[in-house]
Amino acid sequence: MKALQLRSPLNVSYFNSGGGFSSLELSIYVNRDVTDIDTTTVPDYSLIAEPINNRVNFEIAELIRSKNDYLYEDDFYTARDTATYVLLRAVLLDSDGDEIEVKYNFFKVRDGYVDRNEVQLLNSEIDPDPRTWSDNDNSTISTGTNDSFSGTDAYSITDTTDPEPWVLRNVLQVEGIYTLSLFISGTKEIQFGKDDSNLIVFDLDTGQVSFTTGNVIGYDIFKVGTFYKISIVFNMAIGDSFRLRESAKKGSDLTRVFNPTIIKGNLINFNPVDVLLQSNTTTFSSDSIEPKVMFDRKESVSYNAVYSVSPSQDLFSDLKGIFASLPLKTSFYLTSTNLPFTKTNLSLIGNTLEIIFKLICEPKYTPVKVSFINKFGVIQDLVFFKKREDSFNTTQQDFKANILRNGTYLPHTGQKQIINKQASAKLKLSTGFYPEEFNEVFKQLQYSINYWIDDEPAILTGSNFAFKTSVNDKLINYSFDFEYANPDINDIR
């Protein structure tokens, strides 16, 4: 389940193939903790609409954003993630107010944005009632079973043929990248996919995926109560199926299925570290261990770090790990010969090797960490390691005071005195020399609305930004103007 972005329209669409529904009641539940979502409680929002051409559409991005006050969450900055969970419960009613059908949408949102203001559409291409599917072999399906959000909208599946396993399958008329998902509970091993050759095998006892086969683009699994939420992404063709199958007959235990959906797009969930802008990383390898940034470096002569490497280890792999964890170390020497250690003399290693790393540093300036929320809704860090200019601005109110005390003039007290003074701090930061691949990161820095300078909240005051390139500008260095969000003198009364 991918984290959808909320700085663009987010539309949900409901359609009833049988027709006959005259109104739809939509309940919206928003919570950072998925286990706290309970459909028996009062929802965060309730919407009612009448269908047009048997369809109802809602735009809900602003409603969800108003409930996702992530800046006021105690663990927001440490989690580095704006994500929250959203459950939509849509009840389709006939003209008498009787329930025809209940449909659900469940997803995660982040407060990012979609490029060029794309509209995000959540419209499931499958009937959530498996009793209506084209195939439900060897099974009896019952309604009114407890679901994962304290309701009773799940379906129970009972095996009716021993030893043949049950199969639920619905042929689809869709084409392109789609995400198949459902909540499932039980003790069986199940197969989930689009046909016999494209699926994952999941053990409901252990909560583990046994194996995947075919063109599985990706999958995501997490637990909500006794249910597992399984999402799997395929490149679908016309005639492919939404398919769920028991791997083998295993007694009479019931399996519960809740909210099967198939929605266009790759909706697999990502962790915060997975959605950092990938150009904001430096790759260290055995072939190229020089950092691509911080070009004017100097080697330190005052400190060395020593590491031992056994020849039985994968030396290149070990060195890669050392360099990745110590990015300011780029040279190393054999202690026995004090010669530079390179790929060409690897064959000379016979015993345990001591490698001495010489520190390199930028002695002029103290690096500054600038954090911002990127377009994927997670906090991303950039290091500015060049010139820093701090400035301060003060404003004040003064008055003319009576400086007589008991008829005595006090010469050390002036008549004009300050009654209120306010102060704010600003700073101009230079990035240092970055490669051209970082332009996208600096663009996202400019687009963000939340910033932190060395973990202290700030705002970006400059509004103009132009890309620099190695062709036009040779070495690429940007400057940004920031102002601390909190005043130096607290002026809240």
Supply 476's token pair.
Answer: 């690429």
Contact 304, 328 (CB under 8 A): no
Examine the domain organization and report whether 384 and 317 are in the same domain: no
Asked if residue 289 is part of any domain, the answer here is no
Per-residue pLDDT band for 224 (boundaries 50, 70, 90) equals very high
User: What is the mean predicted confidence (pLDDT) over 462-475?
Assistant: 85
Helix H or strand E segment including 440: helix 439-447
Position 176 scores a pLDDT of 95
Quick: pLDDT tens for 320-359: 555 555 554 444 444 444 444 443 333 334 444 455 544 4
Range in 176-180, 313-317, 415-419, 434-438 with the lowest mean pLDDT = 313-317
Residue 187 sits in the same domain as residue 63: no
Q: DSSP letters along 318-351, please?
A: HHHHHHHH-TTEEEEEETTT-PBP-GGGGGG--S
Last residue within a domain, chosen from 340, 361, 382: 361
**Alpha-carbon gap, residue 224 to 411, rounded angstroms:** 75
Helices and strands (H and E) in the chain: how many: 5, 32
Question: Helix H segments across 104-156?
Answer: none
In a domain, 480, yes or no: yes
Q: Where does the pLDDT of residue 31 fall: very low under 50, low under 70, confident under 90, or very high at 90 and above?
A: very high
* Residue 489 in domain: no
* Confidence class for position 271, pLDDT limits 50, 70, 90: confident
* Domain of 209, in residue numbers: 130-264
Q: What is the pLDDT of residues 391-402, one digit of tens each?
A: 998 888 888 888
Q: Percentage of residues in the chain with pLDDT exceeding 70?
A: 80
Confirm whether 117 is domain-assigned: yes
Q: Mean pLDDT over residues 454-476, rounded?
A: 88
255 and 141 share one domain: yes
- The answer on 313 and 240 residing in a single domain is no
With respect to residue 274, please indicate whether it lies within any of the assigned structural domains: no
Task: Report yes or no on 493 lying in a domain.
Answer: no
Q: Please say which residue of 66, 98, 122 terminates a domain.
A: 122
Antiparallel, parallel or unpaired: β 3-5 and 99-110: parallel
For the chain, the average pLDDT equals: 81
Which of 93, 122, 151 delimits the end of a domain? 122
Contact between 105 and 88 (Cβ < 8 Å): yes
| Residue 474, domain member (yes or no) | yes
CA distance 125 to 218: 19
Asked whether residue 422 falls in the same domain as residue 457, the answer is: yes
**Are 165 and 88 in a shared domain?**
no
Residue 70's pLDDT band, with cuts at 50, 70 and 90, is very high
- CATH number of the domain residue 105 falls in: 2.60.40
pLDDT of 363 above 80: no
Per-residue pLDDT reduced to its tens digit, 187-218: 889 999 999 899 999 999 889 999 899 999 99
Between 280 and 185, name the one with better pLDDT: 185
Q: What is the pLDDT of residue 325?
A: 56
In this prediction, residue 483 has a pLDDT band, given cuts at 50, 70 and 90, of very high
- Whole-number CA gyration radius for the chain: 31
How many separate domains does the chain show?
Answer: 4
Which of the listed ranges 162-176, 218-232, 281-295 does the model predict with the highest average pLDDT? 218-232
Residue 262 has, within 13 A of its CA and on its CB side, a CA count of 28
| 248 and 135 together in one domain | yes
Query: How many CB atoms are closer than 10 A to CB 369?
Result: 13
330 in the same domain as 308: yes
Candidate from 11-20, 52-61, 279-288, 349-358 with smallest mean pLDDT: 279-288
Domain identity same for 179 and 214: yes
Query: Which residues touch 255 (CB under 8 Å, ≥6 apart)?
Result: 156, 157, 184, 185, 186, 188, 190, 204, 246
Joined tokens for residue 303? 């400190």
Question: Is residue 374 located within the same domain as residue 310?
Answer: no
Q: Is the pLDDT of residue 140 over 60?
A: yes
pLDDT number for residue 352: 47
Q: What is the CATH number of the domain that holds 155?
A: 2.60.120.260
The tokens for 269 are: 């969930």
Say what the pTM is.
0.78
What pLDDT is attached to residue 378?
92
**Count of all residues that appear for the chain in the document:** 493
Domain shared by 394 and 464, yes or no: yes
The pLDDT tens digits of the residues spanning 89-107 come to 999 999 888 999 899 999 9
Q: Based on the domain organization, do 357 and 245 belong to the same domain?
A: no
Question: Does residue 169 lie in a domain region?
Answer: yes
Distance between CA 431 and CA 363 in Å, rounded? 15
